[in-house]
Amino acid sequence: NAGVTQTPKFRILKIGQSMTLQCTQDMNHNYMYWYRQDPGMGLKLIYYSVGAGITDKGEVPNGYNVSRSTTEDFPLRLELAAPSQTSVYFCANSRQGALYGYTFGSGTRLTVV
Amino acid sequence: QQQVKQSPQSLIVQKGGIPIINCAYENTAFDYFPWYQQFPGKGPALLIAIRPDVSEKKEGRFTISFNKSAKQFSLHIMDSQPGDSATYFCAASADTGKLIFGQGTTLQVKP
């Protein structure tokens, strides 16, 4: 039972490059989230989705895009990478909101140079 | 008003000690307060949670104390063990389902 799977685990990007962080779940949960984690800053919500075809912005959406064409997949797109996007990115899901607990993936460590 | 402020940023205790991590919030619409535990290289995992209708909740060695009037809540770890060494995040949510996380506390329990 994989839960929430993120790929890649590590990536180095050059400024201005683009990439997609992949997130897939096998739990059939409706809610999915993308957070970034920076030292001393906690976890900041980038985007979230309450079901296939529905996405909404979180606290720090600038520079990112998402799509949710299926229940299983919730990719995060960086179009023009900037050094400020160097971070650890976590995808999470929940059955129906925070009350049911989030299941997090193991993260993607991204460095933009 | 959407912030959750967590302190301290780091904490070192001896085995058997009782580390205490504190969080404060402003938004009175928050109605769910979980704590997440994160080990290096892993994603956070739900540890324990409380609703504002109770002042304390215990699960094993972990206790949440909640003070609604002060808009503060804290995590106590009884008889702490080296295996408890991790980063701890408090969080809060209103009925939208989105969690707002605190800044995190890195705990080291020395043998």
Domain boundaries, chain B: 4-110
If you search the block for the tokens 């959407």, which residue do you land on?
Answer: B2
Residue stretches of chain B with pLDDT short of 70 = 1, 96
d(CA B65, CA B74): 5
Q: Do A102 and B89 touch (CB under 8 A)?
A: no
Which of A91, A93, A84, A85 has its CA nearest to residue A105?
A91
CB-nearest partner of B93 from A58, A92, A98:
A98
Q: Tell me if B41 and A106 make a contact (CB, 8 A cut-off).
A: yes
What is the CATH architecture of B4-110?
Answer: Sandwich (2.60)
> DSSP for A53-112?
TEEEE-S--TTEEE--SSSSB--EEESS--GGG-EEEEEEEESSSGGG--EE---EEEEE
Residue-wise pLDDT tens digits, A5-33: 999 999 999 999 999 999 999 999 999 99
In tens, the pLDDT along A52-98 reads: 999 999 999 999 999 999 999 999 999 899 999 999 999 999 988 77
Does the pLDDT at position A41 exceed 90? Answer: no
Q: Which domains does chain A have, with CATH numbers?
A: 4-103 (2.60.40.10)
Q: Per the structure block, which two tokens stand in for A97?
A: 């909101």
Contacts of B99 in chain A (CB under 8 A): 33, 45, 98, 102
| Nearest-CB residue to A99 (from B9, B32, B43) | B32
